[in-house]
Amino acid sequence: MKASTKDFVEAYKAHFKGNIAEFHQHLVTNYGYTQSSKSSTARKIARLKSIGALPLEAGVSVEHGTVLTGMSRYHKLEDGGVWVKSDVEKSNQLTAFKDAVESLLTNVRQPLSFVSPATTNQDKITIYTIGDAHIGMLAHKAETGNDNDLKIAEADLRGGMTILCEQSTPTHECFIIDVGDWFHSDNQSNTTSKSNNKLDVDGRYHKVLEVGLRLITELIDLALTKHELVRWRSAIGNHDEHSSIMATAFVKAYYRNEPRVVVHDTPNPFMYFQFGKNLIGVTHGHTIKADKLGEVMSVDCEDIWSSTKYRFWYTGHVHHLSTKEYPSCVVETFRTLAGKDAWHSTSGYRSGQDMKAITLHKDFGEISRNTVNINAILSERTKQQGA
C-alpha cells in the first residue's frame, strides 16, 4: 500500500535527515510503503514542498513581492541521482479541483431518480446552446455598465434554462452545449493558461469551480424533467482549457449511474454528433477561422458525410450573434448571458445577452428556435421574488 499524505508528511518531519534512500527505507519498513523507487519518493517530497505541505529547505526563500512558480532540486542516490522539478501552479490547480469536488460531495445532494416525461417526440431534438458563461467573472456596474459575480451568473443561467425548458418542444432527446469558456479563469492565479491574461474573478478558484460544477448538474437536472435523454458537452475554451476537461470528468462521474445522461467527453477540440440527417459540430472557435470549419468537418466526418444534409457548427468565443452560410455548412456563434468585464467594456463590446433552444427534425433540419434574453430572465426573477 501507499502511505497516506498525512503519514508521509508526519514521517518526513520526524525522520527525514537529508538522505532520500534512508527515508524511503523508513517508509517501506514502518508503513508498508510500496512506492516504486527512491526517485518516486524524491518527487513526492518535491511536490509536497511546492504546494506548501512540507517546509522548504533551510536557506531557500521567496523574496517579498515574488511568487514561487516551481522548484528544481537534485537528489543524490546510491546509484546516481535524479533531478526533480515541480510546477506550483499545476499542483495548486489540482488541489483546488479536489477541494471543489469534496465540497460538492458534502453539500450537494446526489442525483435524483427522475421520472421520465410522459410523452416525447423522437423525430426531433432540442439543442440548448450556452454562450461563453464565464463563471467567476467579476464586474462592477459603475465601471462596465453591469454587475456580475458568482451569484448573478448562477441565477441568470438557471433562470434562462428554466424558461427555455418551459418553452421548448418536449423532444425525446436534448443536447445541452456549452460552447466553451464555461469558467472565466483556468487557475488560482486568475489568468488564462496560454496567454496568461490577468482576469477579474469573484472569489477563490476552488469556489468558482464549486459553483460552476454545481450549476452544470442543476441545468442537466432541469432538462431531465423535460426530456428522456440529456446530452452534455463542455467545449474546450481559451479561458478554461484545463478546467473544462476537469468539469467534464466530474459530470461524467456524477451521473455515472444515470443512463438518461450522456456526457460527450472527447478531448478533441472538434466534437461531432449526428441526429438523422443533421450533423452538428461543436468547437469554441478560438483555434480556427469560421470559413475553414466546413472543410475540417468534411474530412473528420467522411464516413457519415453523405448521410447528412443539414450541417451546423455551434461556436462561441466572440460573444456576439452571427450566422454565416457556407457551401457545406452553417456556422453560428452565440451570445453570452454574462455581462461585460472591464476589458470587454473598454474595448467597446456591446452585444446582447441571451440563450437559445433550437429544435432540429431528423429529416428536415432546423424547424424552430426559442430565445430568452437577459431582460426576460430578470423580469421573471422579479415576479417570483414578489410572489
The CATH number for 331's domain is 3.60.21.10
As for how many domains the chain has, the answer is 2
Residue 205 lies in a domain: yes
pLDDT of residue 14: 85
Q: Which of 54-63, 220-229, 303-312, 333-342 has the lowest mean pLDDT?
A: 54-63
Do 44 and 144 fall within a single domain?
Answer: no
Residue 191's pLDDT band, with cuts at 50, 70 and 90, is confident
Residue 90's pLDDT band, with cuts at 50, 70 and 90, is low
pLDDT of residue 385: 85
Q: Which of 4-18, 220-234, 303-317, 328-342 has the lowest mean pLDDT?
A: 4-18
Q: How many Å apart are CA 311 and CA 361, to the nearest integer?
A: 12
Q: Which of 26-35, 60-69, 111-120 has the lowest mean pLDDT?
A: 60-69
Do 185 and 296 fall within a single domain?
Answer: yes
Match 546516481 to its residue by C-alpha cell: 80
Q: Percent of the chain beyond pLDDT 70?
A: 81
Do 74 and 191 fall within a single domain?
Answer: no
pLDDT of residue 62: 46
Residue 264 lies in a domain: yes
Do 285 and 357 fall within a single domain?
Answer: yes
Q: What is the mean pLDDT of residues 167-178?
A: 96
Do 177 and 239 fall within a single domain?
Answer: yes
Residue 214 lies in a domain: yes
Do 133 and 268 fall within a single domain?
Answer: yes
Do 112 and 250 fall within a single domain?
Answer: yes
Task: Give pLDDT tens digits for 350-364.
Answer: 899 999 999 999 999
Q: What is the mean pLDDT of residues 300-319?
A: 97
Domain residues for the domain of 38 are: 5-88
Whether the pLDDT of residue 46 is over 90: the answer is no
Whether the pLDDT of residue 225 is over 80: the answer is yes
Residue 97 lies in a domain: no
pLDDT of residue 26: 85
Whether the pLDDT of residue 109 is over 70: the answer is no
Do 38 and 162 fall within a single domain?
Answer: no
Residue 101 lies in a domain: no
Residue 99 lies in a domain: no
Do 328 and 258 fall within a single domain?
Answer: yes
Do 30 and 130 fall within a single domain?
Answer: no
Residue 165's pLDDT band, with cuts at 50, 70 and 90, is very high
Whether the pLDDT of residue 365 is over 80: the answer is yes
- Domain boundary (34, 57, 88) is at 88
- Domain boundary (88, 119, 137) is at 88
Do 144 and 63 fall within a single domain?
Answer: no
Whole-model pTM: value is 0.75
- Domain boundary (58, 88, 118) is at 88
Residue 103 lies in a domain: no
Q: Which residue has the higher pLDDT, 343 or 130?
A: 130
The answer to whether residues 27 and 40 touch, using CB atoms and an 8 Å cutoff, is no
Task: Give pLDDT tens digits for 239-263.
Answer: 999 999 999 999 999 999 999 999 9
Residues sharing a CB contact under 8 Å with residue 187, sequence separation 6 or more, in sequence order: 89, 92, 93, 193, 205, 242
Residue 230 lies in a domain: yes
Do 76 and 129 fall within a single domain?
Answer: no
pLDDT of residue 110: 54
